[in-house]
Amino acid sequence: DIQMTQSPFTLSASVGDRVTITCRASQNIHTWLAWYQQKPGKAPKVLIHKATSLQNGVPSRFSGSGSGTEFTLTISSLQPDDFATYYCLQYNTYYRTFGQGTKVEIK
Amino acid sequence: EVQLVESGGALVQPGRSLRLSCAASGFSFGDYAMSWFRQTPGRGLEWVSLIRSVSAGETTEYAASVKGRFTISRDNSRSIAHLQMSSLKIEDTGVYYCVGGRIVAGTFEDYWGPGTLVTVST
């Protein structure tokens, strides 16, 4: 299996802050990486696919970068609706694997 | 509007069986791969199983942790996917999500149901 290592586990930030979350793959996954947002009691929702492509309807303050084994999700100006848990997902193979998640909390 | 609704989650004893169902609407069901994911306190979000689209031969794949115990299937005439789970273990406890997805011409279509809770306990 491809292991996905995400950091940090938790992140305390204020509205308006720039936030960066990192995901590292155990092997080259090219750009087959997605980022998801999950709120309590809800299913994950895709924000970014193919490492950098913004999913339709997702605010432009979300952006993704990276390729190969190192990837980043950036929220340029954190909004109240963005406090949630974020996951990376590799889909380089059918055996998809997630990172451990990053909980973004209010500072 | 795309909708997926899981059903069948329950409290069940270790070693028993359970069948989950996923009713889909709002998209061309046969054109999509259907997957099951689960979310557990111990292992977080985890892919469980996949059945490919009609055009991809409806072939199936399983995570190592469930291979030989779980069986995925689909009924394209009724737009329903199933996950038959047998020899259940305590570590199978979690919320199970049904997901319909496809990647076509640079688009990433990914539809999730709200989830159904499976609890394996004595």
Summarize the confidence of residues B47-65 as an average pLDDT. Answer: 97
CB contact at 8 A, B84 and B27: no
Chain A partners within 8 Å of B47 (Cβ) = 95-98
Summarize the confidence of residues A49-55 as an average pLDDT. Answer: 97
User: C-alpha angle B112/A70/A31, rounded to 5°?
Assistant: 55
Query: Between chains, do B114 and A101 touch, taking CB under 8 Å as contact?
Result: no
Q: What is the pLDDT of residues A68-85, one digit of tens each?
A: 999 999 999 999 999 999
Q: What is the pLDDT of residues B58-108, one digit of tens each?
A: 999 999 999 999 999 999 999 999 999 999 999 999 999 999 999 988 889
Across all residues in chain B, what is the average pLDDT?
96
CA-wise closest residue to B22 among B94, B75, B81, B71: B81
Chain B partners within 8 Å of A46 (Cβ) = 108, 110
Buried b / exposed e over A47-78, threshold 16 CB at 10 Å, is bbbbbeeebeebeeebbbebeebebbbebeeb
Query: Between chains, do A43 and B106 touch, taking CB under 8 Å as contact?
Result: no
Chain B partners within 8 Å of A45 (Cβ) = 112
Chain A partners within 8 Å of B114 (Cβ) = 42-43
Residue from B40, B60, B72, B108 to probe the interface with A (highest A Cβ count within 10 Å): B108
Q: Which residue does chain A place closest to B4, by CA atoms?
A: A43
Across all residues in chain A, what is the average pLDDT?
97
Q: How far is residue A38 CA from its own chain's centroid?
A: 10
Q: Is A15 on the interface with B (CB under 8 A)?
A: no
Q: Where are the beta strands (DSSP E) in B1-122?
A: 3-7, 11-12, 18-25, 33-40, 44-51, 60-62, 70-75, 80-85, 94-104, 107-112, 116-120
